[in-house]
Amino acid sequence: MKTLIHHTAAIHPGAELHPTVEVGPYAVIGREVKVGPETTIGAHVVLEGPTEIGARNQIFPGAAIGLEPQDLKYDGGSSMVKIGDGNRIREYVTINRATRTGEATIIGNNNLLMAYAHVGHNCIIQDSVTIANGVALAGHIHIESRATISGVLGVHQFVHIGKLAMVGGMSRIARDVPPYMLIEGNPARVRSLNIVGIRRAGIAQAEQGQVYRSLKKAFRILYRSDLTLSQALEQLELIADNEHVQHLLQFLRMSQVKPRRGSIPGRQLPNSDEEIC
């Protein structure tokens, strides 16, 4: 019978591993770690707890999950990391626990975190998110499903990134990224709709393309008119006839509520310092 746990792995007797879990050489797994079926843990991975990891995850060599948060407010409390099913966590990814007792850093299902990505304390990553190499997420960041974050960039604490958004590589993300948009630059700006992501999600074909046309109209109102944010949101209410435009509208409204940091703009009004959206 195949041995699933390498003889050099250091696994605390209190750790709970499903019998189908594979553990590579020199991995270290702490007492308060729980790992679900068919998950593979590569060489030199460090898992500390409290950490819960679901089924069919692939954790590649050198990843460190569940260690204390890099937060000066941390007082040693029992916080957590919770990871769902079907995630691929590549080499040397770090995922920190939350700051306060009872809180959690949460990773959903079917996400890809590429090598050297960092997920800070209290982050929430939903489902089918792609985070490329060298991305650094500060604390309390929320990334909605099917967003794509390109490589070598930093995201400021408390920022939200909307569903099906695309963030260009080496951008500086200090404010919320609206759903369905393509963001790029330093300072970052909304450049266009994330057309490729929208098509792959099947939205472009929904209701004979009517939903896609509504999103294009919303983009023009927000980023190609001379309206301020408050004026643009009023116009958006008039065309919010489907769940996607409604989600965009609600996201932009919530971006203005503290501790959120406002949304990334498109451009500035002519001859003015005031930003559009």
Please check the confidence at residue 110 and state whether its pLDDT lies above 70: yes
In a domain, 172, yes or no: no
What's the whole-number mean pLDDT along residues 58-65?
Answer: 98
Please check the confidence at residue 17 and state whether its pLDDT lies above 90: yes
pLDDT number for residue 209? 86
- pLDDT confidence band for 250 (50 / 70 / 90): very high
pLDDT digits (tens, 9 = 90+) for 126-153: 999 999 999 999 999 999 999 999 999 9
Count the domains in the chain: 1
In a domain, 259, yes or no: no
- Residues 6+ away with beta carbon under 8 Å from 213: none
Q: Do 183 and 264 touch, CB atoms closer than 8 A?
A: yes
Structural domain containing residue 55: 10-143
Classify strands 28-29 and 10-11 as parallel, antiparallel or unpaired: parallel
In a domain, 116, yes or no: yes
Query: CATH number, domain at 127?
Result: 2.160.10.10
Residue 125 belongs to what H/E stretch?
Answer: strand 124-125
User: What's the half-sphere exposure (Cβ side, CA atoms, 13 Å) at 220?
Assistant: 6
What's the whole-number mean pLDDT along residues 39-64?
Answer: 98
pLDDT number for residue 203? 86
DSSP state of 69: P
In a domain, 47, yes or no: yes
Mean pLDDT across the chain:
94
In a domain, 232, yes or no: no
Q: Do 201 and 208 touch, CB atoms closer than 8 A?
A: no
